[in-house]
Amino acid sequence: MKKTLLALAAVAASSAAFAQSSVTLYGVVDASLESVKGDDTVTRVSSDNLASSRFGLKGTEDLGNGLKANFVLESNMKMDTGANGGGSTRFFDRAAWVGVAGGFGELRLGRQDTSIGLLAGNSSILGAQGYDDLKIAKTFSGDGYRRTDNAITYILPKFVDGLSAQVQYSTQASGAEDADKIGSHYGLNVQYAAGGFSAGLGYLQAKKTDSVDDTGVLAYLGYDFGAVKVSGYLEQDKTDGMAEKRQLYGVRFDVPVGKDIKLQASVAQVKDQEMTANNEDDATIIALKGVYALSKRTSVYALFTNVKNDDQVKLNVGQSVADGKTARGFAIGLSHKF
C-alpha cells in the first residue's frame, strides 16, 4: 500500500509539473504558381508570397510568483524545393530566443525581429513578403535589417490598454572583428491601437562600419471605418556618407467582403532608392491582393504587383530587370497554418 501511495504521489507531481509548462509545434505552408516579368518572363512554382513558409517550436513554463519562461525556435522552409530558407549555416533563421516575462514586462535574448522589422513583418499592418513594397524597395525594415542576431529586447509592461513598446540592443555580430562594435545596433518601437485607430513608430540605428551608421525610421497610421480600413505609412533610410535618404511612402486600403473574403490595394512611391546624388529617380509600386478563407487555417489567394521604374531604377518582383523598365508579378496560391 505504501509503495502504491508513493507511486501515485509521483505521478501526481509529474502531471502538475507538465501542466505548468507546454511546448507547441506550429507553422505555415504557403505555395503559389506565379508569373513574373523582368528582363524575361518566368512562370514557376514559388514559396512565401502570402506568408513565409515555416515551422517552429514555442514553449512556456510557469515559474510561479507571476513569472514565466518563454522560448521560440523558428525556421523558414521553401515549398517549391523543400530547402531550408536559412541556408546550410543557419537553421533557425527566423527566430531563436529565450526569455522571461512577468509584471515587469518581458526580456528576450537571441535572434529576433528588429524594432522596425517587427512592424514591417506584421501583414495586418504592413507586410514584407516578395510582392510587398517594403521588400521590393529593399528598405531596411523589409530587407537589410528585417531580423537581427545577438539581440537583447525588453518589452515594456502594458500600462495603457492598446499601447505596446519595446527597446532593443544587438551586440557585435558573431565572428566579427572587435572594431568599434561593427554590426551592433539599437532600436525601439511604440504601437497603439484602440477602436478603429492604430499607429506605430519604429527606429533603428546600426553600426555598418567603423565610421558609417545606417539609420531607419518606419511609421504608420490607420483607421478602420468598418467598410474599409485606410492606412498610410512612411519609411526613411539613411546611410552615413550617402548623398540622399531613401524614402518610401504609401497608402493602403483593406476591404472585407463578407466574413471570408479580404481585398487589399496599395500604392507606394520610392524616392532615391540608391541613395546617391547621381541617381535620384523614383519608382511607383501598385499592389493588389485578394484572400479567400476556406477555413480558419486554409486560404487561397491572388496577388498582383506592378513596379514602374524611372530611368535609373531597376526594382523588380523576384526577376531582374534593366534600368527604367517596368516589372510585375502575378501569383495564385494556397496557404495553410498549423
Closest by alpha carbon to 288, among 133, 80, 98?
A: 133
What residue type is assigned to position 129 of the chain? Answer: Q
Determine the pLDDT at residue 2.
45
CB-facing half-sphere around the CA of 273: CA atoms within 13 A: 25
Whether the CB-CB separation of 334 and 322 falls below 8 Å is answered with no
Residue 19 has pLDDT above 70, yes or no: no
Pick one of 3.40.309.10, 2.40.160.10, 3.40.50.20, 3.30.70.980 as the CATH number of 23-33+42-337.
2.40.160.10
Q: How confident is the model over 139-157, as a mean pLDDT?
A: 96
Whether the CB-CB separation of 192 and 217 falls below 8 Å is answered with no
Whether the CB-CB separation of 122 and 114 falls below 8 Å is answered with no
Q: What percentage of the chain has pLDDT greater than the value 90?
A: 82
Determine the pLDDT at residue 181.
79
Q: Which residues pair with 153 in a beta bridge?
A: 108, 168
Residue 20 has pLDDT above 70, yes or no: no
Identify the top-confidence range among 178-187, 226-235, 271-280: 226-235
Determine the pLDDT at residue 214.
97
Query: Which grid cell sits at 99?
Result: 526569455
Determine the pLDDT at residue 9.
41
244: phi then psi, degrees, rounded to nearest 5: -125, 160
- Residue 226: exposed, middle, or buried by beta-carbon count in 10 A (0-12, 13-18, 19+)? exposed
pLDDT tens, position by position, 189-239: 999 999 999 999 999 999 998 889 999 999 999 999 999 999 999 999 999
Residue 7 has pLDDT above 70, yes or no: no
pTM across the whole model: 0.89
CA distance 301 to 288: 11
239: phi then psi, degrees, rounded to nearest 5: -115, 125
What residue type is assigned to position 198 of the chain? Answer: S
Domain boundaries, the chain: 23-33+42-337
pLDDT tens, position by position, 85-116: 766 578 899 999 999 999 999 999 999 999 99
CB-facing half-sphere around the CA of 288: CA atoms within 13 A: 8
**Distance linking the first and last C-alpha atoms of the chain:** 46
Determine the pLDDT at residue 88.
58
